[in-house]
Amino acid sequence: MVLIMATAVMVIAFSLLKTTTTSTRVTDRHVARLQAQSTAEALLEYGVAQLADQLESKTSFTEDELQPGNSPLVIPSSASAFFEGTDVNMGSLELRAGVLPSGDWKYISPIDLLYEYDELAGKIVFSREVELFSKASVRSSVGPDVTAYLAETFVVRDAPLFTNAIFYNSDLVFNPGYDTDVVGPTHTNGNLNVEVNSGYDLSFYGKVTVVGDLTRGNTSGGGGGIYFTSSADPITLAAMGSGTSTLDSSSSSWLSRATDRWNGFVQDSAMGVETQNVVAFNDYTPDDPTTPANERDNSAYALIEPLLPADHPDRKSDSVRNQKMQYKAGLIIKLEPGGVLKGYTPVRENSSVASSAPTSDAGGNIQYAEVTLPADVIGDPDPTFTSIENNAPEYYGTEDTTTTESYTYTTGRGRDKQTHTGYTTTTTTTVTSGLYDHRENKAVDTVALDVERLKYYIDNKDNSSTGFDGTFDVDSQWNGVVYVEFPTSRSTTDGVYDYGTSTNSYNVVPAVDSDSSGTEMALMIIDAKEVPEPTGVVEPGFTLASNAPTYLVGSFNADGVPHPKDSTEPDNSAEQPAAILVDSLTLLSDNWESNRANTLVDGRSEIQSDRPANSYIEVAAALVTGTPNDLPSYAPYATTDASRPYSLGVINLPRFLEYWGSSRTVTIRGSLVSLFESEVRPDGAPTNFNDYYVPPTRDWGFNTLFAEGRFPPGTPVIRNYRRVNFSSITKSEYEAAIQELDDL
């Protein structure tokens, strides 16, 4: 019996020992497998970061861009030190990226649960999908190495800047006085502060993404309703609340409560919203006026800066230069010494294709051919601002008019009473040429572009002696982008303006004043209800860009006749996608021919009688322009004029100089973009801003052309990345994928 029991104990003990040994072996290989998996995941993480860094500044790609011999992903040398002391087999590590396809356009549906919290939901993007593969082996004390094979899809998404109804690179302040609807996505790389007058509503019909914080203003009288989308199908709004019931970024449990209330249609820093930059440009950084240092990084302004020559200290990288509007332009107009206006077009690698890349000389400077400009396209506008009088700027000028009026008065009494005649003399100064800008308190010389006449020559492809005189072939040279360059220095060499140099840390060179007295030079857009639309072009639409402050007289790309839903719906099916990208933009009424004379007038009652806007105007275009930041009351180190502290928010992104009043309406059908601070006009508005203008009723919306994916030529893009389809794959699947890449 004892022998039987002893034998039984030995059998059980042996079984336990065998099980323990087997468990140890299984555990060891399981740990090795986890280590291999983690190592392969780490490689993918690095590959994603490296790929994003490589693509961040590139604007064009080849299919084999990421393959050996070009720009493949590389495992960093630091990996050896990182995995030192582990069982990772360094010789086994592999990281590969697949082909970079040409891509296609996709709509990111906000009602698709896959994209519920996607920052680009509700937008059209150009999407490319790149497969990433990684391999890692870990030594096991029991048996052969354990190897993990992983795959992941890296999605590169380019969203045109104008997929946003509103895009701000800085803090976005939205404080309308009346009912306002925002149709389309809204994004800010700063904070969003919203407020509306009591008795009125501010409603956002689209996704709102905020890199900073969402807050509600609390000024007296700002107690109106604020609503954000909570559902896209059907469209449903949910209130932000007010007072103690306000739900914003400062609220307790903000993340969960905001998610419950708006279902991902409102996101801020707590939800991980990331900065969106135009491809190749740095993050915008505002100056902090409470510190002695100037922290400003206004690099995005380089978008409208001229192309600087090869030996210039402020010349930008090739990736930034390729994004500049002058680089993209098919027609460049330059203001040259003596008030001469000349046209140029880039010499293309393929002279018969307007979308072909421009050629460069040995120094990397783009080569241009001179274009003979028709005499009535750009220059000095006539008094009605409907045509060009001569091919030269209109310089600021005034005229004094003296009037004498008589009056009678009496002296003495009775027989001594006498009647006398007195005289009063009044001198009135009127502006006869150029204009005076009361916001800037500056005289302004102007160069006017007659868009209707440009349209005539472009649409008729007039290369005759009365047109471009054999120097510009519309079919092969017109691409829809026009850039007007103003000088960045008043010094000259060999009869040509020199390029100025930057006085800032971000190497931007702005346009300069016309003369040392401080008179500015600005672009004026006139006669612009219709824009060029020649037949047979690759990319329809019209984009006008300049490095100068700009004034728009009357309507642009629109008939100026109100119609239902005119802030979102085109006038007709022939409407072209259009954009204006300038230093700053001021909208002027059709009555400007009368009001220009009185631009020296100041005071609310005076401008109501002397500078009234008597017309409805309609602008169908994306507007990219500079705006200042609000200065706090305590700003000991302000770098802008402290007596002019107001940005006035997005409702004043386009500026005004006339008395409009609530009886006059301005419609903007497009996209409102503040991408940079103005470099020529960096200061805000003064505290008495209503002494020089009274705003119109604002009827502003998102153009459905943009919502449908029809964008102006040369539209800047924002790049975003998304990772999907992470999976473990088999050895055979991995080897087949790598072999396919090696066979390219």
The reported pLDDT for the residue numbered 1 is 44
Q: How many Å apart are CA 623 and CA 276, to the nearest integer?
A: 18
Mark whether 472 and 407 lie in a shared domain.
Answer: no
DSSP conformation class of 162: G
In this structure, are strands 659-676 and 166-168 parallel, antiparallel, or unpaired?
parallel
Task: Give 523's strand partners.
Answer: 447, 550
For residues 657 and 517, which has the higher predicted lDDT (pLDDT)?
657
Q: Where are the beta strands (DSSP E) in 161-274?
A: 166-168, 172-174, 180-183, 186-188, 192-194, 196-205, 208-210, 214-216, 223-232, 235-239, 266-267
- Among 6-10, 142-146, 173-177, 354-358, where is mean pLDDT lowest? 6-10
Q: How many Å apart are CA 151 and CA 133, to the nearest integer?
A: 5
305-359 pLDDT, tens digit each: 999 999 999 999 999 999 999 999 999 999 999 999 999 999 999 999 999 999 9
Q: How confident is the model at residue 561 (pLDDT cuts 50, 70, 90)?
A: very high
Mark whether 305 and 388 lie in a shared domain.
Answer: yes
With beta carbons less than 8 A apart as the criterion, state whether 297 and 286 touch. no
Q: Estimate to the nearest angstrom the gap between the alpha carbon of 382 and the chain centroid.
A: 34
Mark whether 590 and 489 lie in a shared domain.
Answer: yes
The reported pLDDT for the residue numbered 349 is 95
Mark whether 251 and 334 lie in a shared domain.
Answer: no
Both tokens of residue 517?
């007295």
For residues 242 and 626, which has the higher predicted lDDT (pLDDT)?
626
Mark whether 127 and 207 lie in a shared domain.
Answer: no
With beta carbons less than 8 A apart as the criterion, state whether 227 and 186 touch. no
Mark whether 385 and 316 lie in a shared domain.
Answer: yes
Mark whether 650 and 572 lie in a shared domain.
Answer: yes
Q: How many Å apart are CA 117 and CA 194, to the nearest integer?
A: 22
Question: Can you count the helices (H) and strands (E) in the chain?
Answer: 11, 38
Which of these, 581, 533, 575, lies nearest to 557 by C-alpha position? 575
Q: How confident is the model at residue 26 (pLDDT cuts 50, 70, 90)?
A: low
Which of these, 152, 54, 164, 96, lies nearest to 579 by C-alpha position? 164
> Is 288 among the domain residues?
no
Mean pLDDT, residues 568-592 taken together: 97
Percent of the chain with pLDDT over 90: 81
44-74 pLDDT, tens digit each: 999 999 998 888 777 677 888 899 988 899 9
Q: How many Å apart are CA 150 and CA 148, to the nearest integer?
A: 7
> Is 185 among the domain residues?
yes
Mark whether 390 and 401 lie in a shared domain.
Answer: no
DSSP conformation class of 70: S
Domain extent, residue 673, equals: 299-396+435-501+512-714
For residues 416 and 526, which has the higher predicted lDDT (pLDDT)?
526
Task: Give 228's strand partners.
Answer: 204, 238
> Is 292 among the domain residues?
no
Q: How many Å apart are CA 406 and CA 392, to the nearest integer?
A: 43
The reported pLDDT for the residue numbered 723 is 92
For residues 66 and 28, which has the higher predicted lDDT (pLDDT)?
66
Q: How many Å apart are CA 423 and CA 592, to the nearest integer?
A: 34
> Is 2 among the domain residues?
no
Task: Give 183's strand partners.
Answer: 205
Percent of the chain with pLDDT over 70: 96
What value does the mean pLDDT of the chain take? 92
The reported pLDDT for the residue numbered 170 is 96
Q: Which residue has tokens 């602008």?
A: 619
Mark whether 97 and 198 lie in a shared domain.
Answer: no
Split into its structural domains, the chain has a count of 4
Q: How confident is the model at residue 29 (pLDDT cuts 50, 70, 90)?
A: confident
Q: Estimate to the nearest angstrom the gap between the alpha carbon of 264 and the chain centroid.
A: 23
Distances (CA, A) of 622 to 10, 523, 710: 86, 17, 12
- Among 81-90, 166-175, 665-674, where is mean pLDDT lowest? 81-90
> Is 279 among the domain residues?
no
Which of these, 126, 119, 124, 129, lies nearest to 158 by C-alpha position? 126
Q: How many Å apart are CA 523 and CA 531, to the nearest integer?
A: 17
The reported pLDDT for the residue numbered 25 is 59
Distance, first Cα to last Cα, the chain: 76
> What's the chain's Rg over C-alpha atoms?
32
The reported pLDDT for the residue numbered 211 is 98
DSSP conformation class of 88: B
> Is 17 among the domain residues?
no
With beta carbons less than 8 A apart as the criterion, state whether 73 and 49 touch. no
Per-residue pLDDT at 4 exceeds 50: no
Mark whether 590 and 549 lie in a shared domain.
Answer: yes
The C-alpha torsion from 538 through 541 and 543 to 544, rounded to 10°, is 120
Q: How many Å apart are CA 660 and CA 613, to the nearest integer?
A: 5
The reported pLDDT for the residue numbered 413 is 85
> Is 20 among the domain residues?
no
Per-residue pLDDT at 136 exceeds 80: yes
Please state the φ and ψ torsions of residue 114, each to the nearest 5 degrees: -60, -30
Mark whether 89 and 184 lie in a shared domain.
Answer: no
Q: How many Å apart are CA 179 and CA 192, to the nearest integer?
A: 18
> Is 101 among the domain residues?
yes
With beta carbons less than 8 A apart as the criterion, state whether 684 and 638 touch. no
Per-residue pLDDT at 553 exceeds 60: yes
Q: How many Å apart are CA 378 and CA 329, to the nearest integer?
A: 17
SS3 letters for 692-716? CCEEEEEEEEECHHHHCCCCCCCCC
Both tokens of residue 238?
């949910």
Task: Give 619's strand partners.
Answer: 556, 668
Per-residue pLDDT at 725 exceeds 50: yes
Nearest 5°: the CA angle 184, 52, 159 is 20
SS3 letters for 492-535? EECCEECCCCCCCCCCCCCCCCCCCCCCEEEEEEECECCCCCCC
Q: How confident is the model at residue 115 (pLDDT cuts 50, 70, 90)?
A: confident
Which of these, 11, 227, 232, lies nearest to 707 by C-alpha position? 232
Mark whether 40 and 109 lie in a shared domain.
Answer: yes
Helical ranges in 374-524 per DSSP H: 451-459, 474-477
The reported pLDDT for the residue numbered 699 is 92
Q: Which amino acid is at 695?
A: P
Per-residue pLDDT at 132 exceeds 60: yes
